[in-house]
Amino acid sequence: MSIDAPMRVDDEGLLSGCEYVLSPNCDERPTGAIDLLVIHNISLPPDEFGGDGVQRLFTNTLDAAAHPYYATIAGLEVSAHFFVRRDGQVIQFVPCLKRAWHAGESCWQGTSRCNDFSIGIELEGSDFVPFSDAQYTALGRLTKALRAAYPIRGIAGHSDISPQRKTDPGPCFDWCRYLTDCAK
């Protein structure tokens, strides 16, 4: 998706204009509002950007022999609704109306099972590298489109909903910049 193209979520939960790659790692949501965005970071191999590792992980086609780290995650069935690459490209893996498997064991404001009511957004990155300007731009625009489509009342990091297990989006994620961009 072009960084300037309008973003809109349709009635099926698909973002207009972005690449859509179907992940099998999703299922039906329980009844209720989609009201939380969860921000993550991911890179495969760890701390390496630009490859197809994340797409392969989310589509269950990751070759465990392609990198030593991949053997440690072989067989994982995970996904997210969206993946934002370093250049700002947005890829959708799961329609927003389906439950993506991104949060795992989690709790937000006293409610567990955050996958049931959240949208997962993965940023290509790590806890140790600042995110790109293009990613902040795309993330802000994506957030606005999601807020226009769903009654989003909260935005959290994976570390906020799973603090004993997760650290992402990490200390290099500029929450003030992101939230300010979303308010414009």
73 has a pLDDT exceeding 90: yes
Q: Which pairing describes strands 82-84 and 90-92: parallel, antiparallel, or unpaired?
A: antiparallel
How far is the C-alpha of 88 from the C-alpha of 34, rounded, in Å? Answer: 24
- As its CATH architecture, domain 19-183 has 3-Layer(aba) Sandwich (3.40)
Over residues 18-34, the pLDDT tens digits come to: 999 999 999 999 999 99
Domain limits of the chain? 19-183
What does pTM read for this prediction? 0.96
Are the C-beta atoms of residues 73 and 122 closer than 8 Å to each other?
no
CB atoms within 10 A of CB 42: 21
- Active-site residue, 122 included: yes
Point out the catalytic residue in the list 28, 48, 122, 124: 122
